[in-house]
Chain A
Amino acid sequence: MSNNLLFGAADATVHPKSSRSTSGLTPYTGVWTKNEVVHLLKRTLFGATFDDINYFLSQGMNDSVNELLNASVSPPAPPLKNYTNTDDDAYATFGQTWVNSPPVPGVTGLRGASLKAWWMGLMINQSRSIEQKMTLCWQNHFATQIQNYAEPRYGYRYLETIRANALGNFKALTKAITLEPAMLVYLNGNKNKKGVPDENYARELQELFCIGKGPNSLYTEDDVKAAARVLTGYRDDSLNNTSYFDPARHDATDKQFSTFYNNTVILGQSGPNGQNELDDLLDMLFLNEECALFVCRKLYRFFVYYTIDADIETNVIVPLAQVFRANNYDIKPVLSILFKSEHFFDMANRSCMIKSSVDFTVGFCRENKLVFPDATALQNQYYFWLLGEQFSATMAQDLLDQPSVAGWPAYYQEPAFHELWINSDTMPKRKNFTDGLLYAGVTKSGYKLIMDTIALTATFSDPSNPNTLIDDVLTMMYTMEVSAAWKAYLKTYTLLSGQASDYYWTNAWNDYVADPTNASKKQIVLTRLQYMYAFIMEMPEYQLS
């Protein structure tokens, strides 16, 4: 079998050349077919629904990217109190948000679960915008562990800070995160005071958030110590759900940095002016060329692929970093140029992302149109959102709870990177999850969350034609082309139950459509569709995006 089969040589459309690793940020001018649409959507959203594929197909590449980069106009409604033990959480009312209510130790876990469920719900119900995926990207970049700071109100405002800045300015986001109570607690910034500085945040601000450990990153241990002194004086206040600057704890002496930072001296300031030193520190960090390079590499690994060779560094990372700096660290111009580039649509970069656990979970729910309970059934709604979150958590991706401040290892751990999402533990769990929601569903308080296989199938172009049906499903679920022989086998042993003629499926589907309340006719198509979907989602191709 020739490799041509893999890239749809059967159709006459001109596709981009494959294996071209030298492509750069030149605007992509190639074809705009479903293949390109699906590639863009799988990378920027969670899954590519069939509706979205058709919608963006008619938009063209430029407009599609522009629309995907739109941030939401107003913040989402905050998480609600979805539990009923009012004795313990008397400050909040069932069905109202708890984010403005004082902390109650006994309900920390319940509020935390509410927060995680809520975020999962936001992802499942995402609009045609990269905002939620970008939020996930930055939350991982500025990773914390809610288990550690253990204050869900901090978690909520930290997450909302990330979302509100996700497509804004990276420098502003970094400053905001520095002052977030969650981060102050997590990396001990709230314990950092003059005389006995705690270097924890100062180190990670450079190593993990702004400068990185690239080959040209040469900041020194003294730079860490100096930055720690700049950052003395910040405190968190859980009662008022805020952070503040305490001049009495601030080290007001001058801070000397190394040649890596051009021997910068940050002049010590006292009183309330002490907090101006944070701006001086960020100005210094963001002046350094390593900053944009480091963050662009991080974005590249999140959205394109994890291997960055010399060509990619030269042709993609360096020019992207220049764009980042030229735009004063505005995020959107960088993403726009990347997603409109030849490099992004290069065949060499298609289908090569292994879906993260969140991408797998949320993408499954969205592509297969799972119907979650609405807000009138609040407890059930949050239950099922949390179910999705917990599923992802059992597969090493727990929202708001990275294993360490370095984030999920799939985004930094050489040499395996994304391959870390798939192992002998997670692979069977992924199948358990898809099979579970495909066949039996999950029932809670009278509500059954289950894939409505027939309803989904009815949305495709011609469900009565087994060939186009399989093509449509594979277009949505896979980013790789599969051979005609593979598809024929799939058809014969699922939709046709081993029979030789397509019309057996066509008749069965048409019989059902003509008499949809007939249980027997429905069961005939349901059984075959379930086997088809199960098999498609069991194949390794489904793990790639």
Chain B
Amino acid sequence: MKRRTFLKATPVAVLPALLSGMTIKAFGASPLISALTANDSDTDHVLVLIQMTGGNDGLNTVIPLDQYSALSGLRSNILINSSKVLPLNGTTATGLHPAMPEMQQMYNDGKLRIVQSVGYPNPNFSHFRATDIWVTGADSNQNLPTGVMGRYLNYEYPNFPSGYPNATMTDPLAIQIGSFVSPLFQGPTVNMAMAISDPTSLYNLLNGVQDPVPATNAGKELAYVRTIAGQTQTYTQVIKDAATSVTSQGAYPANNDLADQLKIVARLIGGGLKTRVYLVNIGGFDTHSGQVVAGATDTGDHATLLAKLSSAIKAFQDDLQGLGVADRVTGMTFSEFGRRIVSNYSEGTDHGAAAPLFVFGNKVIPGILGNNPTISTATTVNDNLPMQYDFRSVYASLLQDWFCVPKTVIDNTMLLQNFQALPLVDPSGCTSTAVHDINSKAGINLIRNYPNPFVEKTKIEFTTGGGQTLVQVFDGEGKLIKVLIDQDMAQGKYVVDFYNENLLPGLYYARLQNGVVAQVASMIIAK
């Protein structure tokens, strides 16, 4: 047959990575495959990032009461009456905006960490550039094509999306609530996150903005493609399962978009997703004017936003507690910059620099990290708060103490070199890194057979990292058919023959076990 000649001569190495992938999709779905490859449990820690878009006025959020006399000369039209500032246990120097009683309580309960004056050298005052700096972890004058969390997830799951989902990582690596994924999650080749606006209806809705289907042929086809798009979300089922397994949640404040988003996050975490990182967003902090109501400075746009932030975070924390997963979760807020020390004449503030951020959860080291900023009465309209802590030290410390990433990796792979280790969370919860070895092998085929399908004989090729190596064959129902290899072997690639000895045609599995790694390849016996 000439056909064979032609195929043989066709160059096979032409396909780069972007053409492959996705074929493994059915892999994670099979309970049998999961059982055959099951292994050590992973660290179950989750990081929830809350992005406050627009640039939050830190001085009116975490209020330095000991700087009041200076501030009253610089931002009198927006300064909040000191008698209304919410006090914090153990300090008289620092308080919270009066719209934040829930976070005040979290602080007093030891579940809130305040990090003072976070920024970076040579601050940038453009929303876009400053946001890019925050999400990529770049220097002020540096352009990085990848995001901080993208680099972390690429370290942990280097071959994603090839080989995912798999028995060790069944779930999305990161989830952003909404319809777009942030550059925060951009890896070297793909964005590592998926966007979800409704975990029970995973078609990628634009936050509920979905145009109706017209009554035309086009409408018929649009509906068809939408259906397929929904079905082919790789993670549809695990997300739906997680969401539906949570049947009751704590109370969340109404008319609070951030609360709505965090409620979804709590539901997914409570439902058992292993997803490492979540990103939610609250916008509107670009308060050039109308930040406060003139004469009633504890009210206005900023107060409304902080009230939403505070009530949503507390409701989320309480819900996690009720769901029994609060120990697994740490949250962190960030905004692209703070605002100017000196207010403007329209009851607002212009783009600034360093600002405080919050880290929250059961495992935070509570209290305030750092000192109140020192405000000079000589401050001019162009002056900004200096940074006390580099924002990359915050990332680096969370990666090290919460995600247990080795310091050398943080320094080199994460591009967060020599940043200061900050006491943010209790580091004692870090588990073994054996799972990292499994994750880093996912997407690399360590076992395969050829020809496939086969009738009488096939060759099973496998790669062992050395040491005790086991190669087994199972039938489609999980019954062990044969043990082909069970011995101590040197590292390398081997081939073993497998003969069809009166087996029925159908699906079979070849399984490799070597150290912490277990992989399964499917084989077809043809008639």
The answer, among B6, B206, B211, B218, for a CB contact under 8 Å with A112, is B6
Q: Are B16 and A387 in contact (CB under 8 A)?
A: yes
Query: B53, A499: Cβ atoms under 8 Å?
Result: yes
Q: How far is the CB of B153 from chain A (nearest CB, A)?
A: 16
Judging by beta carbons under 8 Å apart, are B214 and A531 in contact? no
Please give, as numbers and ranges, the residues of chain A lying within 8 Å of B178 by CB-CB distance: 493
Partner of A427, one of B15, B189, B229: B229
The answer on a CB contact under 8 Å between A390 and B15 is yes
A5 touches B211 (CB 8 A): yes
Contact present for B221 and A418 (CB under 8 Å) = yes
Residues of B within 8 A of A535 (CB): 179-180
Name the contact of A107 in the complex, choosing from B9, B15, B21, B128 (C-beta under 8 A).
B9
Distance between A149 CB and nearest chain B CB, rounded to angstroms = 8
- Does B225 lie within 8 Å of A422, measured CB to CB? yes
Q: Is residue B378 contacting chain A, with contact meaning CB distance below 8 A?
A: no
Are A540 and B127 in touch, CB under 8 angstroms? Answer: no
Q: How far is the CA of A307 from the CA of B8 in the complex (A)?
A: 40
Taking a contact as CB atoms under 8 Å apart, the answer to whether A3 and B212 are in contact is yes
The answer to whether A494 and B180 touch across the interface, beta carbons within 8 angstroms, is: yes
Across-interface contacts of B212 in A (CB, < 8 A)? 1, 3, 6
Interface residues of B in 1-45 (CB under 8 A from A): 2-3, 5-11, 14-19, 21-23, 25
Contacts of A406 in B (CB 8 A): none
Q: Which residue of B lies closest to A349 (CB)?
A: B217
- The complex places the Cα of A378 from the Cα of B128 at a distance, in Å, of 41
A482 to B213, CA, bound (A): 11
Q: Which of A19, A432, A433, A483 contacts B211 (CB 8 A)?
A: A483
For residue B444, CB closer than 8 A to chain A, the reply is no
Binary CB contact string for chain B from 111 to 144 against chain A (1 if under 8 A, 0 otherwise)? 0000000000000001111011000000001010
Alpha-carbon separation in the docked complex, A391 to B17 (Å): 11
* Contacts A425-B22, A497-B127, A508-B128; A147 near B9 (Cβ below 8 A): no
Chain A hits for B189, CB < 8 A = 436, 439-440
Q: Of all chain B residues, which has the CB nearest A433?
A: B18
For residue B254, which residues in chain A have a CB less than 8 angstroms away from its CB? none
* Interface presence of B224 (CB below 8 A): yes
CA distance A371 to B115 in the complex (A): 49
Q: Which residues of B contact A150 (CB under 8 A)?
A: 2-3, 5-6
Query: Which of the candidate stretches B242-250, B281-289, B315-323 sits at the interface with the other chain?
Result: B281-289
Q: Mark A334-376, 1 if CB is under 8 A from B, else 0.
A: 0000000000000111111110000000000000000000000
With A390-B14, A394-B19, A544-B221 in contact, do A147 and B6 touch (Cβ < 8 Å)?
yes
Interface residue? A14 (CB, 8 A): no
Instruction: Assess A437 versus B18: contact at CB under 8 Å? Given A109-B7, A349-B217, A519-B143.
Output: yes
Interface centre among B126, B190, B222 (most CB of A within 10 A): B222
Q: Are A391 and B218 in contact (CB under 8 A)?
A: no
Q: Is A310 an interface residue (CB 8 A)?
A: no
Q: Which of A56-112 contact B (CB under 8 A)?
A: 105-110, 112
Is A381 part of the contact surface with B, judged by Cβ < 8 Å?
Answer: no
Are A482 and B211 touching (Cβ within 8 A)? yes
> Taking CB as reference atom, which chain B residue is nearest A528?
B128
User: A347: nearest residue on chain B (CB-CB)?
Assistant: B216
Q: What mask results when residues 150 to 193 of chain B are scored 1 for a CB within 8 Å of chain A, else 0?
A: 00000000000000000000000000001110010010111100
- Determine whether B420 belongs to the interface, using a CB cutoff of 8 Å to chain A: no
What's the minimum C-beta distance from A121 to chain B, rounded to whole angstroms?
15
Q: Using Cβ atoms and an 8 Å threshold, which residues of chain B touch A352? A: 216-218, 220-221
Bound: A66/B271 CA distance, A? 61
List residues of chain B with CB within 8 A of the CB of A423.
228, 232
A538 touching B204, Cβ below 8 Å? yes
Complex Cα–Cα for A531 and B19 (A): 21
A254 to B245, CA, bound (A): 77
Contacts of B215 in A (CB 8 A): 3, 19
Contact B211 A109 (CB under 8 A): no
Q: Does A429 contact B (CB under 8 A)?
A: yes
- Taking a contact as CB atoms under 8 Å apart, the answer to whether B127 and A543 are in contact is no
Asked if B225 and A442 sit within 8 Å, CB to CB, the answer is no
Interchain nearest-CB distance for B248 vs A (Å):
31
Would you call B217 and A348 a contact (CB within 8 A)? yes
A387 to B16, CA, bound (A): 8
Q: Are B222 and A486 in contact (CB under 8 A)?
A: no
One digit per residue, 1 when the CB lies within 8 angstroms of any chain B CB and 0 when it does not, for chain A 516-541 equals 00011001100110010001001111
Chain B residues within 8 Å of A424, by CB: 25, 228, 231-232
CB distance from A355 to the nearest CB of B (A): 10
B511: min CB distance to chain A, Å = 25
* Bound Cα distance A354, B145 (Å): 34
Which residue in chain B gives the minimum CB-CB distance to A428?
B22
Q: Is the CB of A498 within 8 A of B281?
A: yes
Note all chain A residues with C-beta closer than 8 A to B10.
Answer: 109, 112-113
Q: How far is the CB of A388 from chain B (nearest CB, A)?
A: 10
Contact check, A486 vs B206: say whether CB atoms are below 8 A apart.
yes
A296 is an interface residue with CB less than 8 A from chain B: no
Contact yes or no, A499 B232, CB < 8 A: no
Q: How many Å from the CB of B286 to the closest CB on chain A?
A: 6
In the complex, A531 Cα to B221 Cα: how many Å? 25
Residues on the A chain within 8 Å of B2, using CB: 148-150
Q: Which residues of B contact A437 (CB under 8 A)?
A: 18
Docked CA distance A246–B392 (Å): 82
Judge whether B82 is part of the interface by a CB distance below 8 angstroms: no
B209/A520 in contact, CB under 8 A: no
On whether the beta carbons of B206 and A3 are closer than 8 Å, the reply is: no
Are B190 and A435 in contact, CB atoms less than 8 angstroms apart? yes
- Residue A480, interface by CB 8 Å: yes
In this assembly, does A52 line the interface, its C-beta being within 8 Å of a C-beta of chain B?
Answer: no
Q: Is there contact, CB below 8 Å, between A109 and B8?
A: yes
Separation in Å of the B223 CB from the closest CB of chain A?
Answer: 9
Chain A residues 473-524 with CB under 8 Å of chain B are: 479-480, 482-483, 485-486, 489-490, 493-494, 497-501, 504, 507-508, 519-520, 523-524
Q: A350-B216, A427-B229 are in contact. Are A497 and B128 (CB under 8 A)?
A: yes
Residues of A within 8 A of B21 (CB): 428, 432
Name the distance in Å between B217's Cβ and chain A's nearest Cβ: 4
Q: Is B226 an interface residue, CB under 8 A from the partner?
A: yes
Is the beta-carbon distance between B209 and A489 smaller than 8 angstroms? yes
Known: A147-B3, A354-B225, A423-B228. Is A520-B141 also a contact (CB below 8 A)? Answer: yes
Q: Which residues of B contact A354 (CB under 8 A)?
A: 221, 224-225
Q: List 29 A-B contacts (CB under 8 A).
A: A1-B211, A7-B214, A19-B215, A107-B9, A109-B7, A147-B3, A305-B217, A349-B217, A352-B216, A354-B224, A386-B14, A390-B14, A422-B228, A427-B228, A432-B21, A435-B190, A444-B16, A480-B218, A486-B210, A490-B206, A493-B180, A497-B127, A504-B127, A508-B126, A528-B128, A535-B179, A538-B204, A540-B229, A543-B225
Starting from the known contacts A112-B9, A439-B190, A539-B204, 13 additional A-B residue pairs (CB-CB under 8 Å) come to: A3-B214, A107-B9, A147-B3, A147-B7, A150-B3, A307-B217, A354-B225, A387-B15, A422-B224, A428-B25, A435-B18, A436-B189, A499-B54
Nearest 9 pairs of A and B residues by beta carbon: A109-B9, A436-B18, A352-B217, A351-B218, A540-B225, A150-B2, A109-B10, A498-B53, A424-B232
* Chain A residues within 8 Å of B, Cβ to Cβ: 1, 3, 5-7, 18-19, 105-110, 112-113, 146-150, 305, 307, 347-354, 383, 386-387, 390-391, 394, 418-419, 422-425, 427-429, 432-433, 435-437, 439-440, 442, 444, 479-480, 482-483, 485-486, 489-490, 493-494, 497-501, 504, 507-508, 519-520, 523-524, 527-528, 531, 535, 538-541, 543-544
